[in-house]
Chains A and B, each alone.
Chain A
């Protein structure tokens, strides 16, 4: 394991930001810290980097106890949401910074900077100042700067959070491919479940300072540990006291044994998809299906329908976060 976090607790005054967190992050993988805003993701990342210190617990990086090491000695690359560029230095100088501090020979620095700028596709911008770059370019520069010192682990705190949706998507795909080339153990923070599911090898779900689940995207999606993980990874609705995904609900116009009876109160068409709101005894249920499916079914507002979870659908007991159903 590349990073071992054991029993880490962090308080800000009375507020518990991290509560006995235990996580092991595997070497060479791309791990996402996923969770809602204020959950403690940045705090954990900063503690790994040594930018904050834990109240209790320990951090080991590649087997070395780093708990009381200052950030300078951890050999960790950190990329910030708002780029944290050195404004008064050119792009090349920014990237060279860590190497110059280590007093590497000049020709080596020059060569490595060229190499890295090539890697992040900024070669032709080497002599620009950071304020002449776009946000995405700045973040790529920050990434090159962090990679320059050959860190044992690379930590990214919502690296694409300040960028617009399209650039974000491009950069996230690019990060995945970059990681496949560079293979440095990488941890990145995001509160976007799509980003985590698409890019990460492993996902750590953090909520209110606690780890809710650790697993691959498939595990998280197919075997959510609890209702929080299930509802955080995608849309959910409550059917008969169980949480289920809206597109995993089957709809019939005739009674089916064990199905829940209800009335369609609303039909909302969004692109290729249709969302039905069905009033049942246990509260409103949202059902998603394709337009074609709905046409074939022939249901409309006011129709009497019977609902049941599709075969093989993932369901979790509990009250959904989004809807207040009166559990039986």
Chain B
């Protein structure tokens, strides 16, 4: 450092120095679109695997639905029973996802930050709803919320049973996406905020929550997607009554049982569109929040 300026001077190593480059333009910010050999191979495998498992079967469904022409779509959606099933499914999945965002974050928080007896056991049990065969999940829920409910809540064959089943099978998603992020948060970041005057609530809202947000959104996406596809537990629990407790996936099954493959494919592609829309919207929300910082 040869600069003989008075006061505090320091070697500001930055992008400003070489001739011609304007200050403030960071070179590092935009990654270049060049792949190394290894990365190219990785991308190739990713695309192949993804195509075989996801893209091709999905395209097949859409193609099949489209083969029936535009009419089959309109027919399927104009059918009131189908429409009711779609609305029930999407509405219930949305409610459960919002619920999960709150409870899942709280459960993750408790598991990471609090100390209480039985914590290790709770930590293991969280995954049970996900690990159980869904038909068993239906059985379990029926025992507690069915006609012989020990707590006097008979929700079997009511729309509530759909919510219950969705909530049960999607419980772990947000907990498990948020938990590791919360564990990795540095204590000193929160301490820095505290010594700058931030209250515990402000620290949670301005420091912790933004760090958890991507994980919460990822968990919410999984949770929603899992909910709209739930099938097994509802067979026992909801009774699948048309216009009341019949969900879209059950409706698809009955189309297939009636040999109406085109309708099944059309409804499937509608569900697919809903799932995609939700994924895209949540992703946009996440980006927006990340940018706002």
A72–B188 touching, CB < 8 Å: no
Given contacts A49-B195, A72-B199, A89-B293, 15 further A-B contacts (CB under 8 A): A50-B195, A51-B191, A72-B198, A80-B192, A93-B293, A119-B8, A124-B24, A125-B14, A125-B24, A128-B26, A132-B26, A140-B10, A145-B192, A146-B195, A170-B1
- A311 interface hit (Cβ, 8 Å): no
* A–B Cβ pairs within 8 angstroms, 26 of them: A51-B195, A72-B195, A72-B199, A75-B197, A76-B195, A77-B195, A78-B191, A78-B192, A78-B195, A84-B189, A84-B192, A86-B189, A102-B197, A121-B10, A121-B12, A122-B12, A124-B12, A124-B15, A124-B24, A127-B24, A132-B26, A134-B13, A142-B192, A170-B1, A177-B8, A181-B8
- A287 interface hit (Cβ, 8 Å): no
Residues of B within 8 Å of A85, CB to CB, are 189
State in angstroms the CA–CA spacing of A49 and B16 once bound together: 37
Query: Which of chain A's residues 63-91 have a Cβ closer than 8 Å to chain B?
Result: 70-72, 74-78, 80, 82, 84-90
Known: A86-B207, A178-B8. A101 touches B198 (CB 8 A): yes
- B186 interface hit (Cβ, 8 Å): yes
Residues of B within 8 Å of A132, CB to CB, are 26, 28-29
- B123 interface hit (Cβ, 8 Å): no
Residues of A within 8 Å of B207, CB to CB, are 86
- What 0/1 pattern do residues 41 to 79 of B give for CB contact below 8 A with A? 000000000000000000000000000000000000000
Residue of B nearest to A93 (CB): B293
Query: Which of chain A's residues 139-175 have a Cβ closer than 8 Å to chain B?
Result: 140, 142, 145-146, 148-149, 170-171, 174
Residues of A within 8 Å of B8, CB to CB, are 119, 121, 174, 177-178, 180-181
CB distance from A94 to the nearest CB of B (A): 9
CB distance from B185 to the nearest CB of A (A): 10
Residue of A74, A77, A124, A180 most packed against chain B (CB within 10 A): A124
Residues of B within 8 Å of A178, CB to CB, are 8
- A215 interface hit (Cβ, 8 Å): no
Of A80, A101, A127, A170, which one neighbours B196 at CB under 8 angstroms?
A101
Residues of A within 8 Å of B197, CB to CB, are 72, 75, 98, 101-102, 149
Query: Which of chain A's residues 169-226 have a Cβ closer than 8 Å to chain B?
Result: 170-171, 174, 177-178, 180-181
State in angstroms the CA–CA spacing of A87 and B202 once bound together: 16
A residues touching B (Cβ–Cβ < 8 Å)?
49-51, 70-72, 74-78, 80, 82, 84-90, 93, 97-98, 101-102, 119, 121-122, 124-125, 127-129, 132, 134, 140, 142, 145-146, 148-149, 170-171, 174, 177-178, 180-181
Residue of A nearest to B190 (CB): A84
Residue of B nearest to A87 (CB): B211
B14–A97 touching, CB < 8 Å: no
Residue of B23, B29, B198 most packed against chain A (CB within 10 A): B198
B290–A88 touching, CB < 8 Å: yes
B195–A71 touching, CB < 8 Å: yes
A88–B195 touching, CB < 8 Å: no
- B194 interface hit (Cβ, 8 Å): yes
Known: A72-B198, A80-B192. A88 touches B10 (CB 8 A): no
Of B14, B199, B210, which one neighbours A88 at CB under 8 angstroms?
B210
- B193 interface hit (Cβ, 8 Å): yes
